[in-house]
Amino acid sequence: MISLQLAGENALILYLSPEISAQHLMQLQYLAQQIRTLVADQLQDIVPSYASLLIVFKPEHSGILALQAMLQQQLALGCSEITQQSQRITLPVYYHTAWDLGQVAQNSGLSAAEVIELHQARDYRVYAIGFAPGFAYLGELDSRLSTPRLVSPRPAVPKGAVAIADRQTAVYPAASPGGWNILGLCPTPLFQAENAGTAKPLMPFRVGDQVRFQSISRDEFLALGGELPQELR
């Protein structure tokens, strides 16, 4: 059931279900598509998350309550339809024990090779993009790899760090502080600001897409344009 609530003078937030699932995510993608069609002239932005959509209207919109009532009625008619097509992206990873791979293996009772095998053995859904441009929250991780965040976050995580926390995995698009457990490095650029205003995408994925990881060697990492942090040089 759709719940559409006020989120400010020019914003609404749509909740579909408290349960996080691929099916609900695809429904949210469909609803976002419908909203763009219904209020295209008044829409400023739509921000998707795990189980919600933040709908932001232009300041000169015709009235937030009228928009709320109209969308509630129109969206309820077709919320079960799924038309959004997702794409599948493969991201290469140079796995390395320089960071947390060994600790994750020890905590899970697995070998480092088994951790790597499990991490790249399934497709992950892009549930949300946030924290930083190009940072995709991917789920769900195999339960055997579930690992809590670091007690003390690192002041600097290298660009391209592939990491896990709880039942999620992600790739850091740029160097930044971070508290996730690092398994390796990805050479693929995840946010390209220079593409703004062009036909080229800013990011290789969007919410709803599927991501799979593929192990590569050090030489392959470098050949793909990857940059080794100081501790691996």
Instruction: Flag whether pLDDT at 78 surpasses 70.
Output: no
- The pair of structure tokens assigned to 213 is 């990881």
Q: 120 and 188, same structural domain? A: yes
Residue 157, CA atoms < 13 Å, CB-side half-sphere = 29
pLDDT of residue 131: 79
Q: If you average pLDDT over every residue of the chain, what do you get?
A: 88
Out of 47, 76, 105, a domain closes at: 76
Element (H, E) at 31: helix 22-38
Q: 94 and 148, same structural domain? A: yes
Out of 29, 50, 76, a domain closes at: 76
Q: 130 and 50, same structural domain? A: no
Q: 99 and 13, same structural domain? A: no
Instruction: Flag whether pLDDT at 85 surpasses 70.
Output: no
pLDDT of residue 230: 86
Axis-axis angle for helices 64-76, 22-38 (nearest 10): 130
Q: 102 and 57, same structural domain? A: no
State the residue range of the domain holding 37: 3-76
**What does the CA dihedral 21, 23, 27, 32 come to, rounded to 10 degrees?**
50
Q: 7 and 72, same structural domain? A: yes
82 assigned to some structural domain: no
pLDDT digits (tens, 9 = 90+) for 118-174: 999 999 998 888 778 899 999 889 999 999 999 999 999 999 999 999 999 999 999
**Cα angle vertex 73, ends 68, 75, to 5°?**
90
pLDDT digits (tens, 9 = 90+) for 162-205: 999 999 999 999 999 999 999 999 999 999 989 888 888 889 99
Rg (CA), the chain: 20
Instruction: Flag whether pLDDT at 71 surpasses 80.
Output: yes
Instruction: Flag whether pLDDT at 59 surpasses 80.
Output: yes
How many folded domains does the chain comprise? 2
What's the distance, Cα to Cα, between the start and end of the chain in Å? 53
Instruction: Work out the number of other CB atoms within 10 angstroms of the CB of residue 54.
Output: 15
Q: List CB contacts of 40: < 8 A, sequence separation 6 or more.
A: none
101 assigned to some structural domain: yes
45 within 8 A of 7, measured Cβ to Cβ: no
Element (H, E) at 163: strand 161-165
Task: Give the Cα separation of 181 and 3 in Å (integer).
Answer: 35
81 assigned to some structural domain: no
Q: 200 and 114, same structural domain? A: yes
Of 201, 220, 186, 41, the C-alpha closest to 133 is 201
Q: 118 and 69, same structural domain? A: no
Strands (E), 35-87: 43-48, 52-57
Instruction: Work out the number of other CB atoms within 10 angstroms of the CB of residue 191.
Output: 16
Domain CATH code at residue 194: 2.40.100.10
Element (H, E) at 36: helix 22-38
